[in-house]
């Protein structure tokens, strides 16, 4: 994991119009109907209408945006940390 990005992941939704996520590693794709993100706990898709990304602090892994929010869906499994972290569990 990159230095500075939070190890925790949170989603904050305000009135289904504004959102903030923490623990974001990368924006995979986005358009006005769907935003796909890679987070410390796996891939997340945000679905809605008129979605817009606001600020993305790549150092901390925080991102915000707005639009009409319909759903947040986890589409990938939680990152396991690699071969050695699985070996020494």
Torsion sign over Cα 9, 85, 87, 37: positive
Residue 8 confidence (pLDDT):
87
Quote the CA–CA distance of 23 and 6 in Å, as a whole number: 5
Q: Does pTM top 0.75 for this prediction?
A: yes
What are 50's two structure tokens? Answer: 């008129």
Q: What are phi and psi of 49, to 5 degrees?
A: -130, 150
Residue 50 confidence (pLDDT):
97
Contact indicator for 2, 40 with CB cutoff of 8 Å: no
Residue 1 confidence (pLDDT):
47
User: Which of 43, 46, 40 is CA-nearest to residue 8?
Assistant: 40
**Residues 8-22: pLDDT tens digits?**
899 999 999 999 999
**Residues 26-72: pLDDT tens digits?**
999 999 999 999 999 999 999 999 999 999 998 999 999 999 999 99
Residue 69 confidence (pLDDT):
97
Choices 1.20.120.550, 3.40.190.10, 1.10.10.10, 2.60.40.2000: CATH for 11-77 = 2.60.40.2000
Instruction: Please check the confidence at residue 79 and state whether its pLDDT lies above 60.
Output: no
Q: How confident is the model at residue 80 (pLDDT cuts 50, 70, 90)?
A: low
Quote the CA–CA distance of 48 and 40 in Å, as a whole number: 23
Contact indicator for 32, 55 with CB cutoff of 8 Å: no
């Amino acid at each position: 994991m990159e230095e500075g990005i939070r190890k925790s992941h949170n989603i904050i939704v305000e009135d289904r119009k504004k959102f903030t996520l923490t623990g974001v590693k990368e924006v995979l794709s986005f358009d006005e109907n769907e935003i796909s993100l890679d987070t410390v706990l796996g891939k997340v898709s945000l679905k809605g209408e008129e979605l817009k990304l606001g600020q993305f602090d790549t150092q901390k892994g925080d991102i915000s945006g707005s639009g009409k929010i319909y759903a947040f869906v986890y589409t990938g499994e939680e990152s396991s940390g690699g071969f050695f972290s699985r070996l020494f569990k």
